[in-house]
Chain A
């Protein structure tokens, strides 16, 4: 049974009932890919009046969108060789702050400069660099940079060590990429789009009844998109006038499903990993260099600290990307030069994603362009098929706007983009976490986290808990997550599994490794989605195993002890390895 947005109100249903613009298709546009770009297009196109369906093979924000550094940064890194990326990033960072204020948090950065001949030589150049970056800061409500002496640096962050000549501060914004994706998805659905997660596209078949070569506007030309629900195994197809391939690093695979050579939608997949620490180790993000001169950072992010990132060409399975011990050490060794106490900090996990960088043969990974481009496959004999290549979280909305502008021309809409002025769900009004905590009878931290994730929509979760008071209990004590929120994301945010719930709520990502909450979450998933209870348990176990893999790449003494306890606990309660054993256990 495909999932419908249960939150759709009458008006949205009316929009959905609206016919496509041509009688011979089911929808105007099929978007493939539930990352931030695909969801951005689905939202924009729906808003401009098109009938849209989106298919996602895994889950919303499963790939790069949900595994980024979690910043809507201005792309200072690209200023020297790609200033255009910096400007567009800053401009759109401002827009995103306006439409999703609840999801953004300020991250002030410190950049220590080593007291070496090179460091002293570079210091004034870096100052000039940041001065150039300051021009763009007002676009995103950022503060200008400051030059800091060594004493000032250490006063701001006493953990900074090493022989330094001084440093700089500058300003960026953090965001939860998965929540940004969900907000876009929910908005698109409420405006009439239909979104299917866990649904893979198996074939994109051109329908050509017109003259050859086909013209896009020829009635009869379009695509039949064959798709299959990966959970139920049920296959179906849908006819669309236009297909948008927004599958990030999966883009060449998707293009090949339409019979195109994969080179037509080529990316250069770049794997990036992050290490997660159990608390906010610092109040400032800290820049550092790796042994090979790459820039990495340690940033306080939500209620944890994130260390990132690597950039390596990736040749593996995109559905199973994970960090290795060796990659983790590369980052730790780099940051330890300016922040040596990182060795004593408790890493509680890692995550990894693959950037869909524009293809080029030759340059090193870091030198690759972060620009995005839209490939019109009409040139390759497939009119009405487009691939979105490249891009980054910070400029997703612009990329989606550019793509939807193309659709607007194709469908002759004459409606301009308004996604930068219309508020995303939850961003319309601030939510006071202390009042929320009092009303729900939960603690202030839980309420603060809830208000962060859902903005004003936290009130809908509060309403659930008011109707069913037992749902105010905590399921995941680390994050923390209430039962009402778990049930809400299953009903209104397209979650279909324990892992999906975790992606939307951060359930099970704390230091206990899901020991306390995975099984309980599995019960709730089974209940809400009317699955066999044993399916809920199986999901919990596969979530636990998968998370254990990501944690163990960064295991230290404290977390190893916790890990042993988690194994014992899971063994006692559920049984380890039981999900491999089929049904007769």
Chain B
């Protein structure tokens, strides 16, 4: 089912995020899980028919990846 125009616009904006996140972390010694998580977000954005993709979900994915790697957020 094609996305409604408004949903497509929202998804487009949310899918700006992975590119922006790479920019944010550029030049830092971030653990590999961070870049892997961003790769995962990018893949989610590129998946056909993705629905319900939200920036909150992306944040949770990023937090989860860092925590699973045994890193603290602070």
Q: Do these two chains interact?
A: no
* Chain A interface (Cβ < 8 Å from any Cβ of B): none
